[in-house]
Amino acid sequence: MTVDLGTDYLGLQLRSPIVASASPLTGELDTARRLEEAGAAAIVLPSLFEEEILNEEIELNRSLEAGAEQFAEALDYFPAVGAFAGAGDRYVSRLEQIKRRASIPVIASVNATSEGGWIRYARRLQDAGADALELNVYRVAADPTTNATDTEAADLGLIAAVRAAVTIPLAIKLSPYYSAFANFAKRVVECGADGLVLFNRFYQPDLDLETLDVVNRVELSRPWELRLPLLWIAVLRPQLGPGVALAATSGIHSGTDALKALMVGADVAMMTSALLRNGPEHLRIVESELRASMADHEYESVAQLRGSASQGKVADPAAFERANYMKTLHSWSTPSDLTAGAVP
Amino acid sequence: MGIGPMDQQWECLDGNEAAARVAYALSEVISIYPITPASPMAEHCDDWAAARRPNLWGKVPDVVEMQSEGGAAGAMHGALQKGAFATTFTASQGLLLMIPNMFKIAGELTPAVIHVAARTIATHALSIFGDHSDVMHARSTGWAMLAAGSVQEAHDFALVAHAATLRSRVPFMHFFDGFRTSHEINKIAVLGEDDLRALVRDDDVLAFRSRGLTPEAPAVRGTAQNPDVFFQAREASNPFYLALPGIVKEVMDELGERTGRHYGLVDYHGAPDADRVIIVMGSAAGAVEETVDTLVAAGERVGLLRMRLFQPFPTSEILAALPSTVRAIAVLDRTKEPGAVGEPLYLEMVAALAEQMDDDVPPFAVAPRVIGGRYGLSSKEMTPSMIKPIFDELGSDRPKRHFTVGIYDDVTHLSLPIATGFDQPRPTGEVQALFFGLGSDGTVGANKASVKIIGEGTDLFVQGYFVYDSKKSGSVTVSHLRFGPEAIRSTYLIDGADFVACHQFGLLTKVDVLEHAKLGATLLLNSPYGPDEVWERLPGAVRRGLVEKAIDLWIIDAFAVADEVGMGNRINTVMQPCFFRLSGVLPAEEAITRIKESVTKTYAKRGEAVVARNFAAIDRSLERLSRIPLGAPGKAEVIVSPAATDPREFVSRITAALIAGQGDQLPVSALPVDGTFPTGTTKYEKRAIAQQIPVWDAAICIDCGKCAMVCPHATIRMKVFPDSAVDEAPADFKSKEFRSRDLLNHRLTVQVAPDDCTGCGVCVDVCPAKSKTEVGHKAINMEPVEVHRDLERPRWDFFQTIPALDRSLLPHDTVKGSQVLEPLFEFSGACAGCGETPYLKLVSQLFGDRMIVANATGCSSIYGANLPTTPWTVNAQGRGPAWSNSLFEDNAEFGLGMRLALDAQADHARILLTRLASAVGDELVRGLLESTQGTEAEIALQRDRVSRLRERLAGVKGEGRSDAQHLLALAGDLVRYGIWIIGGDGWAYDIGFGGLDHVLSSGRNVNVLVLDTEVYSNTGGQASKATPRAAVAKFAAAGKATGKKDLGAIARAYGNVFVAQVSMGGNDAQTTKALLEAAAWPGPSLVIAYSTCIAHGIDMSKSMTHQKDAVKSGYWPLYRFHPSEIEDGQPFKLDSQAPSIPVADFMATETRFAVLQRTQPERAAELADLAQADADERWRYYEQLASMHRSVPHLGHAGKANPVAGGVSPDERRDEKGADA
């Protein structure tokens, strides 16, 4: 049977629900093209990090001036560098290049910690042709003097400010570390977000036991990580209603993973790790798996299956809440990746 | 039509930029080579070409770096012959290297201009500073010589030179004083394109082009001529020189007509009825003019004749300009020609006057008396108080016919006294400001900005001049700024400041910041102490000075403000608003606005963060400024330099004075007559510049020695000693058990020299030992100096008393073993974290007591021997490296000469020894002649033998006495000494390459160490042929397109040269082994050492990590090529692992590559791909080399004398040496 994979995400009409999310693959012209050829319905560019822009600018200026005006023979050590393209400028120009070549929607992504220059960058990305903007709100709430209310207020302020700055669709990529997530998600939407991307993964520090250094190491996701997005998309889909776009990300490695995400209510399933492991062409397999699974289960279209297993529609909504957690802890016979996923 | 000053466009430029702008606009080919102080002219041209700025004819000039000034002149000559406008910039030795081509260019009557920032020629010492010894040396080349005396003149005369050369066909040397003019920022009216077009006439341009070589109308030029015609042909050009003064005047008049700036070939200034006149050329004319004005106002009949055109000598213009009342003339030369009757300007003047007085109509009724004086060598100050005595001398009955000014000559008594009481009045409304800062704090940069803010934003005239000290790290800077309603002529430092700023509290104990403050001046002090505390914290001498001069004292804690806004130690934008507020040069609000505009102009295009931080600093600045009422004056403490305690009289008296900054006061008799100085003097500087110092944790240390190995300043030391050595140690002296199977009952200490450390942090970066309970804590950690200095000082004092370990107890071919050895290179003034100095220190540890160094000019000659002190030092026996620098271009040859001398002297000693065998004793003679000295122990035995030989020779009487005396003088050469030829890549790859290649081919036993920073580091980072592809450097502003030259491959091609490529951070053990093998190899050896440099744009504390990454990526493979005589020998040993990271990962961490990715991403990507391909290809090639079999052709057996090797065949010499450890 033929299956209609078409979906709507942030008001963008996509040919399938499989989106390549932020990774080095989406940021390079060549791999972005390969992703499109392999069937990606849209691509999200790698995040433009505020720290990256600031650090680069400050470090470059510092090193261009290092040693200057110290010794009569060498009053500086570099040729005159008037202007240079910072991380932000390069991001904008890469977006323009990719956008010029791509026929699928290109979503820009910014990873912000403060309002500051973000408003300007959000506008620049819009002007450069981004079809939508993904704002990655990423914060480790490590300051013991800042309470949850203040933290949330700061995040919402940032979202509102970016919303006010752009007219293109705005998705907010969140971490799961909010104490009252459903409430927070609702307020994010009230601030003007067109959709939520659930969830970003913290690249948590690791230790190198040889050098005893703390290292930042990218750990690719595993399929079990999909459980958390499944939970919250299932919960939020009925709460937020059909007008709010939801994207599942983290742990989508196969067509069946995508199917599950769609079933709990996601509009799109976003992939990174599996593509990094297997290459852009892996998308073809995922899409054919999705088609096959849908066919197996006799779904005709994504529209039909989307949200069919959200919290409001399953027989036991509690399965998505605390009871599910307790049950999992006691079901030792379940596959090991599931139990690992259940430990908070 | 003339125009007034208001019609002009004013800018603040230094002399170099002022000249370069015109030169660039009027050139098609610009061949360049770096040399201080002319390099900035070339750098500007390269920058403008990279930015595609067109010249006057709409074409971007081709700016080409050559391998030497000789090459630059040759390329210029070729371009000119083809009919292209060509120029170059140079100074000093560089000009000397151009002389052969200059003769040719002038001989061929080719229009050309060389712009010279005139600089001292090296004689008894190198000097980068200004005088006319270089241009005067080139005066016989046939080039016209046009002297600019100010920044405005450097701009205007650049045009005069370019225009006049085209009209006259005589090439021009346009020169101005190095530093005083080349680096002074002044407000000048800039020439417009129309001015250039008007003076550089199309007809002349076309005439020049028509003489260019072309196959369309072929000709030959540069023939060889014979006695029949050469002479006549040489005279044939006379009319061109005769016409030249008129042409120059014509051009100057046209310039004056257009700009209102009227110049003569010479200009007289002063009393119309003057009886005494000074004739001078260059910047000193400014100071003389001021003095003349003061004296004339006081009723004296004095004047100045300013020389502009020196050659052809404008005799008639001079005599026309001089008042007929003149009775005595002092001609001042800024050069010295030992043995001559007088210096050039004086001689020309005397001859010209004599000729004219002999004319039918003599210019004077009675010929004026002419005396000649020298002044200002190597930028020595020339002030009104030095000038007035010259007029006084002219007025005396019997003036000195030859004299000097500015120094005290107590040997030949030539100097005139300095008129200390002479008061040169300052113009009304002028503000003189002095700023004391550290190079790293941004003071000079901010002052340059202030000069532009005031000069370009108001009607005021400005002058900025900046004085730096002799160190590359922790250097003190003094900024001299003048602002006023009249053009500023004072070509000397400020000696009566209205405003003084001290940007570093610590400088108060090192520099007398109030010495040049006027009564009632303002002092702005950056103080970490608040208003309640600061007075008590001030040194007594400063308190006394403040009270005596009734200074208006203000403080601000600039570091606190800078820290709050994330500016680190850059306090410039905190201090700058305070200066404006206190000096009143501009209204406060306007000043703030303009400072912000200036920051925006500099940084806005590079992002917002730096702008935002600077703005925050500016905004917070004024609110933290406090006025401090003066308290009671204190007692002035007398600070005694540690150098005063040295047993050597020279060091305690002279070196101590130099360190104290009193060199200007030293009389002639105090200085060595031949430039010879004692070594081992940096230890007295105690500069205490580190904010943090490394502190050792003995409990964690694993005895590896890496920290001591990499320390660029030898301020982390490791000693191993018997347990008993610390019996008398202070209670808190740290030591630990030395882990060794061979050396029992010994302890180890790692000790910092707290007042010598620069705080670079390289030691901590490499320390591999980490605490088990706290991963961030290593066996060595950077800690705040204020907490640890007082603890470490007595420890360091005691540490120094522990005797060095017997060198034979531990092998030297390990890091640990080498680091127990005493360094004989210590506390250099190199940049903090320097990548070169650790290699020199290591060499000094391994071979220091028996090495002679030939050092190429460059960083290593500067931190190695820039007065006041030298880091090369001696061991407890008084032995250490002997060191000399010849030139930049000839260092390999210089070192070879040392080897030749050493071999000759050793041979001579052997002959004498054989002759004196009966007197000396056969056994001792045999021992001396037959010792292989293959190991250090054998060298020690040989030294014992030499001692015994000396004792016996002293007793030889009668017939053998003469031989014995000669042998006594040569006996030391019976010990095996190593010749170390040391220099940077600029020398080895470029200017000295021909010589290096020749020396390597000679087969002689020399050790060449190339400290490869991949740029000309000393002159500020210009590209060399060692610069890698894709790197941005000066002279490669658009990124270097070609790959790095494989110097090692060229040397390896000889087959009998030991070649190693090393990187201490990449593999410290391999570095050590390579150096030992190089020293042991009896023929030539070449060690190319990867040296991180500030010009790479890296965090220098991570210097060794960058080196490691360079090796890991295959960017810098490690190898040793050890020539082999075995038929199936495999001489090439690849010492590094196959690349494990992409070159791009390494490149991404260095600004020299990263900046291109941000300025020209496409070009950067293309070059980065090629850089990776370079590395891949090199690795593939080296892997193949590693499996290649190669043998050095040799005679097959020992005993066949090789006449070129001092009577010893290579085989014999190899047998002698063996391994060195």
A117 chain-B contacts, CB cut-off 8 A: 608
φ, ψ (nearest 5 deg) of residue B232: -60, -40
Q: Is B36 a catalytic residue?
A: yes
Choose among B1077, B1080, B1071: nearest CA to B1217. B1080
Query: Is A90–B1161 a contact, with Cβ atoms under 8 angstroms apart?
Result: yes
Quote the tokens at residue B799. Answer: 């540490």
Mean pLDDT of B661-665: 93
Q: How far is A80 from chain B (nearest CA, A)?
A: 6
β-strands A245-248, A195-198: how paired?
A: parallel
Q: Report the C-alpha gap between B149 and B160 in whole angstroms.
A: 14
Are B367 and B393 in contact by the 8 Å Cβ rule? The answer is no
Query: Is A60–B1155 a contact, with Cβ atoms under 8 angstroms apart?
Result: yes
Question: Token pair 């003189």 is at which residue?
Answer: B432
Helix or strand or coil: residue B486? coil
Query: Is B607–A86 a contact, with Cβ atoms under 8 angstroms apart?
Result: yes
B1034 chain-A contacts, CB cut-off 8 A: 77-79
Higher pLDDT, B1161 or B712: B712
- What digits encode the pLDDT tens for the residues A158-198? 999 999 999 999 999 999 989 899 999 999 999 999 999 99
End-to-end CA distance of chain B: 81
Are B768 and B704 in contact by the 8 Å Cβ rule? The answer is yes
Are B1183 and B1134 in contact by the 8 Å Cβ rule? The answer is yes
Choose the catalytic residue: B781, B885, B1018, B1092: B1018
Q: How far is A119 from chain B (nearest CA, A)?
A: 13
The answer to whether residue B1220 scores a pLDDT higher than 70 is no
Residue of A53, A63, A74 lying closest to B1020 (CB–CB): A74
The answer to whether residue B482 scores a pLDDT higher than 50 is yes
Q: How far is B820 from chain A (nearest CA, A)?
A: 26
Name the strands in the sheet holding B716-722, side by side, starting at the edge strand that comes first in the sequence: B716-722, B746-752, B736-737
Question: Token pair 């270097």 is at which residue?
Answer: B1040
pLDDT the model gives residue B3: 44
Question: Does pTM surpass 0.90?
Answer: yes
The answer to whether residue A333 scores a pLDDT higher than 70 is no
Q: How far is B867 from chain A (nearest CA, A)?
A: 14
Number of A:B CB contacts under 8 A?
144
Closest residue in chain A to residue B180, using alpha carbons only = A72
Choose among B688, B696, B717, B689: nearest CA to B781. B696
Q: Is B119 a catalytic residue?
A: yes
Provide the pLDDT confidence category of residue A142 given band limits of 50, 70 and 90. Answer: confident
Closest residue in chain B to residue A51, using alpha carbons only = B609
Mean pLDDT of B155-171: 98
Residue of B36, B607, B1020 lying closest to A77 (CB–CB): B1020
Query: Is A75–B1020 a contact, with Cβ atoms under 8 angstroms apart?
Result: yes
Query: Is B468–A84 a contact, with Cβ atoms under 8 angstroms apart?
Result: no
Provide the pLDDT confidence category of residue A216 given band limits of 50, 70 and 90. Answer: low
Q: Is B69 a catalytic residue?
A: yes
Are B325 and B300 in contact by the 8 Å Cβ rule? The answer is no
B171-185, B610-624, B845-859: the lowest-pLDDT one: B610-624
* Average pLDDT of every residue of chain B: 94
Q: Which residues pair with B64 in a beta bridge?
A: B31
Choose the catalytic residue: B43, B69, B822, B1077: B69
A207 chain-B contacts, CB cut-off 8 A: 775
Quote the tokens at residue B1109. Answer: 């990454």
Quote the tokens at residue B908. Answer: 């001579």
Q: How far is B1162 from chain A (nearest CA, A)?
A: 11
β-strands B328-333, B276-281: how paired?
A: parallel
Query: Is B1018–A65 a contact, with Cβ atoms under 8 angstroms apart?
Result: no
Q: Report the C-alpha gap between B858 and A66 in whole angstroms.
A: 19
Query: Is A83–B1099 a contact, with Cβ atoms under 8 angstroms apart?
Result: no
- How many C-alpha atoms does B160 have within 13 Å on its Cβ side? 36
Query: Is B37–A72 a contact, with Cβ atoms under 8 angstroms apart?
Result: yes
Q: How far is A114 from chain B (nearest CA, A)?
A: 13
B1161 chain-A contacts, CB cut-off 8 A: 85, 90, 93
Closest residue in chain A to residue B833, using alpha carbons only = A67
pLDDT the model gives residue A220: 80
pLDDT the model gives residue A340: 34
Choose among B891, B873, B416, B892: nearest CA to B680. B873
Q: Report the C-alpha gap between A193 and B359 in whole angstroms.
A: 99
The answer to whether residue A331 scores a pLDDT higher than 60 is no
The separation between CA A168 and the C-alpha centre of its own chain, rounded to angstroms, equals 17
A76 chain-B contacts, CB cut-off 8 A: 1020-1021
Query: Is B468–A81 a contact, with Cβ atoms under 8 angstroms apart?
Result: no
- What digits encode the pLDDT tens for the residues B1090-1120? 999 999 999 999 999 999 999 999 999 999 9
Are B1077 and B1057 in contact by the 8 Å Cβ rule? The answer is no
Q: Report the C-alpha gap between B596 and B602 in whole angstroms.
A: 10
Query: Is A73–B440 a contact, with Cβ atoms under 8 angstroms apart?
Result: no
B477 chain-A contacts, CB cut-off 8 A: 69-70
The answer to whether residue B1207 scores a pLDDT higher than 50 is no
Closest residue in chain A to residue B447, using alpha carbons only = A69
Q: Which amino acid is at B928?
A: L
Number of separate helices (H) and strands (E) present in chain A: 14, 13
Cite the beta strand spans of B790-900 per DSSP E. Answer: 851-855, 882-884
Are B424 and B294 in contact by the 8 Å Cβ rule? The answer is yes
Cis amide leading into B364 (omega within 30): no
pLDDT the model gives residue A138: 77
Provide the pLDDT confidence category of residue B1206 given band limits of 50, 70 and 90. Answer: very low
Residues of A in CB contact (< 8 Å) with B are: 53-54, 56-58, 60-61, 63-86, 88, 90, 93, 117, 207, 212-214
Closest residue in chain A to residue B1038, using alpha carbons only = A79
Q: DSSP string spanning B494-539?
A: -SSEEEEEES-GGGGGTS-TTTTEEEEEEEEEE-SS-TTTHHHHS-
Choose the catalytic residue: B11, B28, B36, B1052: B36
The answer to whether residue B607 scores a pLDDT higher than 90 is no
Share of chain B above pLDDT 70, in %: 97
The answer to whether residue A330 scores a pLDDT higher than 50 is no
Question: Token pair 């990746």 is at which residue?
Answer: A337
pLDDT the model gives residue A336: 34
Q: Report the C-alpha gap between B588 and B621 in whole angstroms.
A: 12
Higher pLDDT, A307 or B238: B238
pLDDT the model gives residue B784: 96
Inter-helix orientation angle B993-1001/B891-915, to 10°:
30
Share of chain B above pLDDT 90, in %: 90
Candidates A70, A84, A94, A212, partner chain B, best to mutate (most B CBs within 10 A): A70
The separation between CA B429 and the C-alpha centre of its own chain, rounded to angstroms, equals 37
Are B744 and B723 in contact by the 8 Å Cβ rule? The answer is no
Residue of A57, A71, A117 lying closest to B468 (CB–CB): A71
Q: Report the C-alpha gap between B998 and B1000 in whole angstroms.
A: 5
Closest residue in chain A to residue B858, using alpha carbons only = A73
pLDDT the model gives residue B1196: 56
Provide the pLDDT confidence category of residue B8 given band limits of 50, 70 and 90. Answer: confident
- What digits encode the pLDDT tens for the residues B927-943? 999 999 989 999 999 99
Residue of A54, A77, A90 lying closest to B609 (CB–CB): A54
pLDDT the model gives residue A140: 79
- What digits encode the pLDDT tens for the residues A27-83? 989 999 999 999 999 999 998 887 788 888 888 888 888 889 989 999 999 998 878
DSSP letter at B823 equals P
DSSP letter at B110 equals -
The answer to whether residue A339 scores a pLDDT higher than 80 is no
Query: Is B1021–A65 a contact, with Cβ atoms under 8 angstroms apart?
Result: no
Annotate B1043-1102 with three-state secondary structure. Answer: CCCCHHHHHHCCCCCEEEEECCCCCHHHHHHHHHHHHHCCCCEEEEEECCCHHHCCCHHH
pLDDT the model gives residue A217: 67
Q: Which helix (H) or strand (E) holds A245?
A: strand A245-248
The answer to whether residue B587 scores a pLDDT higher than 60 is yes
Q: Is B235 a catalytic residue?
A: no
Question: Token pair 């393209």 is at which residue?
Answer: A85
A310-324, B186-200, B421-435: the lowest-pLDDT one: A310-324
End-to-end CA distance of chain A: 41
Closest residue in chain B to residue A69, using alpha carbons only = B439
Residues B152-164 as b/e (b if ≥16 CB within 10 A, e otherwise) read bbbbbbbbbbbbb
Quote the tokens at residue B624. Answer: 């933290």
Q: Which of A195-204, B147-156, B1195-1204 has the highest mean pLDDT?
A: B147-156
pLDDT the model gives residue B1210: 43
Burial-class residue B291 by CB neighbours within 10 Å (0-12, 13-18, 19+): buried
Q: Which helix (H) or strand (E) holds A59?
A: helix A50-65
Residue of A72, A79, A83 lying closest to B605 (CB–CB): A83
pLDDT the model gives residue B567: 87
Mean pLDDT of B910-918: 96
Residue of A75, A78, A93 lying closest to B1097 (CB–CB): A78
Residue of B46, B439, B1095 lying closest to A77 (CB–CB): B1095
Mean pLDDT of B1150-1159: 92
Provide the pLDDT confidence category of residue B776 given band limits of 50, 70 and 90. Answer: confident
A60 chain-B contacts, CB cut-off 8 A: 606, 1151, 1154-1155, 1158
Length of chain A in terms of residues written: 344
Q: Which amino acid is at B1124?
A: S
**Conformation bin of residue A250: beta by default, left when phi > 0, alpha when psi is -120 to 50:** left
Spell out the long-range contacts of A208-215 with Cβ–Cβ below 8 A and sequence spacing 24 or more.
A212/B770, A212/B775, A213/B775, A214/B775
A205-219, B315-329, B614-628, B1025-1039: the lowest-pLDDT one: A205-219
Question: Which residues, 6+ apart, have CB-to-CB distance to B418 below 8 Å?
Answer: B385, B386, B389, B405, B406
Candidates B473, B606, B1093, partner chain A, best to mutate (most A CBs within 10 A): B606
Are A48 and A109 in contact by the 8 Å Cβ rule? The answer is yes
Mean pLDDT of B1036-1050: 96
pLDDT the model gives residue B1205: 39
Query: Is A66–B610 a contact, with Cβ atoms under 8 angstroms apart?
Result: no
Choose among B1164, B830, B866, B883: nearest CA to B1011. B830
The answer to whether residue B1198 scores a pLDDT higher than 70 is no
The answer to whether residue A338 scores a pLDDT higher than 80 is no
Are A261 and A228 in contact by the 8 Å Cβ rule? The answer is no
Query: Is B1017–A90 a contact, with Cβ atoms under 8 angstroms apart?
Result: no
User: What is the ipTM for the molecules in this complex?
Assistant: 0.92
pLDDT the model gives residue A204: 67
Are B1195 and B1056 in contact by the 8 Å Cβ rule? The answer is no
**Conformation bin of residue B1047: beta by default, left when phi > 0, alpha when psi is -120 to 50:** alpha
- What digits encode the pLDDT tens for the residues A272-307? 989 999 999 999 999 999 999 999 988 999 988 888
pLDDT the model gives residue A203: 60
Query: Is A75–B443 a contact, with Cβ atoms under 8 angstroms apart?
Result: no
